[in-house]
Amino acid sequence: MTQERPFDLLNKSIGGQVMIRLKNGIEIRGVVNSFDVHMNIVLENSEEIEDGNLKAKLGTILLRGGNIIFVSPV
């Protein structure tokens, strides 16, 4: 049995949509373009979500890994 590592999940998410919660409570939904070893993540077609509803369209953004609480495939 092989154990999946955190970066394996991120790698599988490239091209797919994820939900990311930041330390300040903001939730961002977008398509993973790329990431690095510091878990900095580039999202395309990203949107800020508040209470399950679209708050703002953000486009292409870079999220700093140190600000990320979790990443969840949508």
CB 32 within 8 A of CB 16: yes
How do residues 21-71 score in pLDDT, each as one tens digit? 999 999 999 999 999 999 999 999 999 999 999 999 999 999 999 999 999
Does the domain at 6-73 match CATH 2.30.30.100? Answer given as: yes
The alpha-helical segments, DSSP class H, found in 1-74 are: 6-13
State the pLDDT at residue 69. Answer: 97
| 44, two tokens | 């395309």
Report how far residue 66's alpha carbon sits from residue 74's, in angstroms, rounded to the nearest whole number: 21
Longest dimension (CA), the chain: 42
Does position 4 have pLDDT exceeding 90, yes or no?
no
